[in-house]
Amino acid sequence: MGMFCPKCGSLLKPKALKSGTALGCSCGYTEKNQDLEVRESNKKKNEVDLAVVEKEREEKRLPLTETDCPKCGHRKAYYWLQQTRAGDEPETRFCKCEKCSHTWREYD
């Protein structure tokens, strides 16, 4: 599974299809993948709006850090960085609690 379109090089975004899930590009390219799950959550401050997660546990590949979960207070969370704003601004750090799986954003 590639994260970039082989036709035009753009970032592939999640798409929900009647036959399953896929990654799609604005140029029309679609890559079907049965190992993806598309999850949506309510749009609230400090929560992820849309996430593509491999059905296999993603935590196996993510590093752990010491931070306080705002929901349960646990002191360890998995984290990843993602560029969510303009390229000249810092990346957004996403955290997912090791204990309760609550996900939140940390801005620099």
Sign for the CA dihedral angle at 9, 12, 18, 19 comes to: positive
40 as an active site residue: the answer is no
89 as an active site residue: the answer is yes
Catalytic residue among 31, 88, 98, 106: 88
Catalytic residue among 35, 59, 68, 89: 89
User: Alpha carbon of 21 to those of 15, 34, 57, 92: distances in Å?
Assistant: 6, 7, 18, 26
d(CA 13, CA 45): 22
Residues annotated as catalytic are 88-89
